[in-house]
Chains A and B, each alone.
Chain A
């Protein structure tokens, strides 16, 4: 079957073949016991040094998450959404991005932010209520956290379509071809926005990878209520390929995402990746999962921990103990840095609110800002906030 698509550089529709099929079999390259296994189509392309480097990311991301959670309990953050248990899905996919690619996160992608080089302290402002974002999306290649469930899949698709129009797809130049990576969860898969994003991405063969972290719980709603079939099967209905991967296997996630991103960059269209993982923590610090889920289920997933299997593998390789102790020290320092940074986050200058509305200067808004600043300056201020 062929479908006409609009591709950049050619104003006439050209037929392309329907992309690869949907595979519901779980791709795994590293078992929970820490054993490497072969897969007929996917392979981790790094050496053991890169596995160590991935492990460092996993461990530090877990520390960031743990520390931010504690900061919320200290009363320093209004809220925190833990990524505990999903580190491999986030780090594995985040590390598959190239600098010219662009990630569109939910509010839980702390591991992706880490991979994009964002200082984790910058994640805290939003959750402390002193920031509207925290980082420069253009500079980091990562959009701001999206609180609206599933909205970012539309942003990603739009961005991917823009890449096509900028001629940044399928040129064969590895420094130029780019893709968008849209993160969402099993709960968002039921949202209308996600459906629309899938339709647009498919219709325009947009270079976007839909990366679903199926963590089994949409707050208190179990996966079984979201879908009667594996989520990855939905891709078939939209006409693009899908792959199901062990989301707690950082090597498999990396390999699968890398392949999907490359297909996108090459102009072969979207892919749905279903990373099967588990939300080990609460939905957010305001949630109490013991009210709706069985502790036995959590216990079962604890045996599939994304960090433990990499550690087992590395210890099998006779990785020196110093590697682990040094990493622990690095994590402790990172924790101290986060606590310090959180407490010294400045109160917001509300005047800055006006700056992020339009890309270019806007006279009406400039007048409003001037008026507001005059009003603010009519107060005796020491702190700067008004």
Chain B
């Protein structure tokens, strides 16, 4: 009987899923006949049989992920097992190694049982087969190089093993890693944190008044004030007065990315930051000329809809202090270069925490870029008093169908793809206007040349 152990088919893979068996118990297989499909972290791979004979057992069911080295199929023959070479020698090798150890050195065996994945030829062998006992190790003095080696090992052993970030964590808390109890050979972050938590009561000094306060029940209570408080109030007021509708579109923005690259190398744009956000900002301004209803305000008191004369384009910025939404007054009258300069100034000021309240009032439309956080899309909440907000997701390489539908050139290719979402106040506009605006922005980002048509 020969057992085929799951091989490492891709240089360092540790496991694979058995997808489909192409043989059943009782089938007679030939050498190199495909017997099973496995899926590794890299790809789906067909495995050929190393043995000829009758399948006597499928040892791993379909859909199961097993480590490299796990026997997956047993193959024997009516005329006795056709066992080539390595499989038999593997079994013998293991048996003799184990036998030797259990006879001579039972203490080592339990520790040596750990399976050690190896790259080729033998699936997985037990670590003990490699760890040979040195001649006369206990009785006679070791030779010089051995002594030197032992000396080095001893030195290393005096230091606890831990990854650099864990070392830093320990150091920052004045923890000696050697004092930290741990399960394995390596001190983990959890070990250090548990250790710190355990000794917390004694050195705890008076907490600074402005910082989060640990309450008696162990929860942390953070006073709501400043930007957090303003954001909370604005969001409540917006979410519960303006009925939000959110629509989104996913599109290929490769042409926009190319434009960005071109502008970056344009001498006139040398001093400013050119980003996809800049093109989005321009596209929004252009699209608002066709759908000015999105650049409007609902006046509850007078029961009027106020169409704004100019676009004061708000840009949401995450800062250390929280979310701020400064705006660029008259963005619709700016050239692309002016817009780039204004955007750069606005973000720099926000990041530095110097945004003035006046810069945050009077906005008429807002762009929020959640893509910077690595997410695809969101359902943005309107800045109070505004009718529309555009949310830009991350711009990512995605498979995209290009070419003529059904034509010979139709194919899937990697493109820059993003998702845009627009939320609008349904008191002011309907799906028609909201959709037209979003489609217009998308069309410009898809093909910036269409900006000429606005």
Q: Could you say which residues of chain B place their CB within 8 Å of the CB of A74?
A: 4, 7, 47-48, 50
Binary interface encoding of chain A residues 110-128 relative to chain B, with 1 for a CB under 8 A from any of its CBs, else 0: 0000000000000000001
Bound CA span A375–B121, Å: 26
Contact with A along B228-246 (1 / 0, CB 8 A): 0000000000000000000
The verdict on A378 contacting B9 (CB below 8 Å), with A74-B50, A75-B120, A343-B84 known, is no
* Contact (Cβ within 8 A) A128 B120: yes
A379 to B4, CA, bound (A): 32
Residue on B nearest A289 in the bound complex, by CB: B43
A294 and B412 alpha carbons, distance in the complex (Å): 10
How many chain B residues sit at the interface, stated as a range, is 35 or more
A73, B9: Cβ atoms closer than 8 Å: yes
A38 to B18, CA, bound (A): 53
Which residues in window 70-121 of A have CB below 8 A to B?
70, 72-79
Nearest-CB distance from B238 to chain A (Å)? 45
Contacts of A25 in B (CB 8 A): none
B164 at the interface (CB under 8 A from A): no
Q: Inside 8 A of A70's CB, which chain B residues have their CB?
A: 32, 48
A173 at the B interface (CB under 8 A): no
Closest to A291 in B: B43
Assuming the contacts A73-B46, A378-B146, A380-B133, asked whether A344 and B85 have C-beta atoms less than 8 A apart, the reply is yes
User: Given A288-B42, A378-B142, A378-B143, do A128 and B121 touch, yes or no (CB 8 Å)?
Assistant: yes
* Chain B residue contacts of A374, Cβ below 8 A: 143, 145
Query: What separation, in Å, do the CA atoms of A76 and B4 have in the docked complex?
Result: 11
Cβ of B127 under 8 Å from chain A? no
B109 CB, nearest partner CB in chain A, Å: 16
- Interface check A129, CB cutoff 8 A: yes
- B86/A78 in contact, CB under 8 A: no
Q: Is B411 an interface residue, CB under 8 A from the partner?
A: yes
Instruction: Give the total number of A-B pairs whose CB atoms are below 8 A apart.
Output: 90
B45–A73 touching, CB < 8 Å: yes
Residue contact A75 to B32, C-beta cutoff 8 Å: no
Q: B8 within 8 Å of A by Cβ?
A: yes
Q: Is the pair B135, A378 in contact by a Cβ cutoff of 8 Å?
A: yes
Interface check B314, CB cutoff 8 A: no
Are B86 and A343 in touch, CB under 8 angstroms? yes
In whole angstroms, what is the CA distance A287 to B10 when docked? Answer: 8
In the bound complex, residues from chain B placing their C-beta under 8 Å from that of A381 are: 132
- Per the 8 Å Cβ criterion, residues 278-322 of A in contact with B are 285-288, 290-291, 294
Please state if A339 and B135 are interface contacts (CB–CB under 8 Å): no
Chain B neighbourhood of A286, CB < 8 A: 9-11, 42
- Find chain A residues with CB under 8 A from B11 CB: 78-79, 286
User: What residues of A have a CB within 8 angstroms of the CB of B132 in the complex?
Assistant: 379-381
Q: In the complex where A73-B9, A75-B5, A378-B135 touch, is A294 in contact with B142 (Cβ < 8 A)?
A: no
B194: CB under 8 A from chain A? no
CA distance A344 to B90 in the complex (A): 12
Interface string of B7-22 (1 = CB under 8 A from A): 1111100000000000
Chain B residue contacts of A288, Cβ below 8 A: 42-44
Closest to B122 in A: A75
Q: Contact between B46 and A294 (Cβ–Cβ < 8 Å)?
A: no
Q: How many residues of A contact B (CB 8 A)?
A: 32
Bitwise interface map of B from 381 to 423 toward A, beta carbon under 8 Å scored 1, else 0: 0000000000000000000000000000001000000000000
**A73 touching B119 in the complex, CB below 8 Å, given contacts A375-B143, A380-B135:** no
Contacts of B149 in A (CB 8 A): 375
Bound-state CA distance A375–B144 (Å) is 9
Query: How close is B117's CB to chain A, nearest CB, in angstroms?
Result: 11
A350 shortest CB reach to chain B, Å? 13
**B123: Cβ under 8 A from any A Cβ:** yes
Give CA–CA (A147, B146) in the complex, Å.
35
Which residues of chain A come closer than 8 Å to B86, judged between CB atoms?
76, 343
Contacts of A128 in B (CB 8 A): 120-121
**Do the beta carbons of B134 and A378 come within 8 Å of each other?**
yes
Contacts of A136 in B (CB 8 A): none
A129 contacts B119, CB within 8 Å? Answer: yes
Q: Which of A317-346 contact B (CB under 8 A)?
A: 335, 339-340, 343-344
Closest B-chain residue to A282, C-beta based?
B43
A residues near B85, Cβ cutoff 8 Å: 340, 343-344
A371 within 8 A of B: yes
CB proximity of A81 to chain B, nearest CB, Å: 12
In whole angstroms, how far apart are the Cα atoms of A236 and B10 in the complex? 41
A129 to B121, CA, bound (A): 10
Q: Is the CB of A380 within 8 A of B134?
A: yes
Q: Could you tell me if B135 and A294 are in contact, using CB atoms closer than 8 angstroms?
A: no
Residues of A within 8 A of B7 (CB): 72-76
* Nearest-neighbor residue (CB-CB) of A128 within chain B: B120
Which interface residue of A290, A340, A343 has the most chain B CB atoms within 10 A?
A343
* Distance, CA A66 to CA B9, complexed state (A): 15
Residue B31, interface by CB 8 Å: yes
Pick from A73, A77, A380: contact of B48, CB under 8 Å? A73
For B119, give its contact among A78, A285, A340 (CB under 8 Å): A78
Residue interface bits B132-156, CB-to-A below 8 A is 1, else 0: 1111000000110110010000000
In the bound complex, CA of A79 to CA of B7 (Å): 11
Q: Which residue of B lies closest to A74 (CB)?
A: B50
Q: Is the CB of B411 within 8 A of A294?
A: yes
Q: Mark B241-254, 1 if CB is under 8 A from A, else 0.
A: 00000000000000
Q: List B residues 16-67 near A (Cβ within 8 Å).
A: 31-32, 42-48, 50
Report the minimum CB–CB distance from A296 to chain B (whole Å). Answer: 9
Roughly how many angstroms separate A374 CA and B44 CA in the complex, as a whole number? 47
- The 0/1 profile, CB within 8 Å of A marked 1, for residues 110-127 of chain B is 000000000111110000
Q: Which residues of A contact B32 (CB under 8 A)?
A: 66-67, 70, 335
Partner of A339, one of B31, B123, B134: B31
Q: How far is the CB of B278 from chain A (nearest CB, A)?
A: 29
Q: Are B120 and A78 in contact (CB under 8 A)?
A: yes
Q: How far is the CA of A128 from the CA of B120 in the complex (A)?
A: 6
| CB closest chain-B residue, reference A375 | B145
| Neighbouring A residues of B47 by C-beta, 8 Å | 73-74
A375 to B146, CA, bound (A): 7
Q: Are the C-beta atoms of B142 and A76 separated by less than 8 Å?
A: no
A8 to B327 alpha-carbon distance, docked (Å): 77
Contacts of A379 in B (CB 8 A): 132-135
CB–CB A285/B121 < 8 A: no
CB neighbours (8 Å) of B44 from chain A are 288
Residue of A nearest to B137 (CB): A378
Instruction: Please name the residue on chain B nearest to A377 by beta carbon.
Output: B135
CA distance A77 to B146 in the complex (A): 33
Residues of B within 8 A of A (CB): 4-11, 31-32, 42-48, 50, 84-86, 119-123, 132-135, 142-143, 145-146, 149, 411
Apart from A75-B120, A288-B42, what are 4 other A-B pairs with CB-CB below 8 Å?
A: A78-B11, A286-B10, A339-B31, A378-B142
For this complex, 23 residue pairs linking A to B, each with C-beta atoms less than 8 Å apart, are: A66-B32, A67-B32, A70-B48, A72-B7, A72-B9, A73-B7, A73-B46, A75-B7, A75-B8, A75-B120, A76-B7, A76-B86, A76-B121, A77-B121, A128-B120, A287-B43, A374-B145, A375-B145, A375-B149, A378-B142, A378-B146, A379-B135, A381-B132
Interface set of A (CB-CB < 8 Å, partner B):
66-67, 70, 72-79, 128-129, 285-288, 290-291, 294, 335, 339-340, 343-344, 371, 374-375, 378-381
* In the A-B complex, the 8 residue pairs with the closest CB atoms: A75-B7, A288-B43, A74-B50, A343-B86, A343-B85, A286-B10, A78-B120, A70-B48
